[in-house]
Structure 1
Amino acid sequence: MWFGRFGGLWGQSLLETHDSVASKSYETPPPSPILDPTFSSQPVPPDAVRMVGIRKVAGENLGVTFRVERGELVIARILHGGMVAQQGLLHVGDVIREVDGREVGSDPRALQDSLRRASGSVVLKILPSYQEPHPPRQFH
């Protein structure tokens, strides 16, 4: 076998590495729930949570309002053009559970103040609504 100017030890090391990898037996991993079609037809569990990361500047508004439903803070409205609308990661009906690892309680004003003061990377723990988005309303 000819290895050109890279022959000798380099070529020998390459062949030894190849033979070592080729001689191993690898197990097939279990199917991924994301890629397995049998999982896609199953309903999403009602208590499935999602972590959403946003970057913001202190004092900057997110463009979202909240309401209280059954003691939980729910996204009531997303303002067109706001940061949340631009990112598309949150939806009307999503329940906000935590902000940066702290539970939010049930006071929408306290949540708004907390989010307004936050800066840098902010992580929200949410319970997605899984509702079909409504088409935007048009006003004339």
Structure 2
Amino acid sequence: MKRPVFIGLAILFVAFIVVAGFKIANHQKYANVYAEIYSISKTKYASSSTVFDKEKDAIETKYENVKEIDEMRVKYNFSDVDGGFVVELFDGASVYTVRYNASDKVLYESFSGDESKEAELKEVFKREFLEDWFNTRASRFSMDNLGDVEVINE
């Protein structure tokens, strides 16, 4: 009686190990943290059930009350052709924009306005967008290792 139960449990254990191995082997690996942010946000958007949820997910509303600057906006574009996201930080007449294009996996940065505010806006972006991502998600990237990303200054 004990032997058939043991054999059955051993077969189930081996099947579990094989299935887990395939899942781990097929796990999507992202080239950089920006690809990870876009992909996970797109999956969250696709699983939203209502039009209101989809609109809310397309515009990240948690950045509405960022201190030290006037405004911060994050807008996602989940289309298959020109998908990506845009992060805009405003402080007076100064604007720092970070745009990630998912199709070519390139990060575009631009700044206009008072040059003395550029470093501050970049620091707010790192703290509010990137550090927030690492604090709320399990990521294989870190602030010291953002992955393989090409940054182009516009």
TM-score (norm 2): 0.24
Which has the higher Rg, Structure 1 or Structure 2? 1
TM-score (norm 1): 0.25
- Structure with the higher helix share, 1 or 2: 2
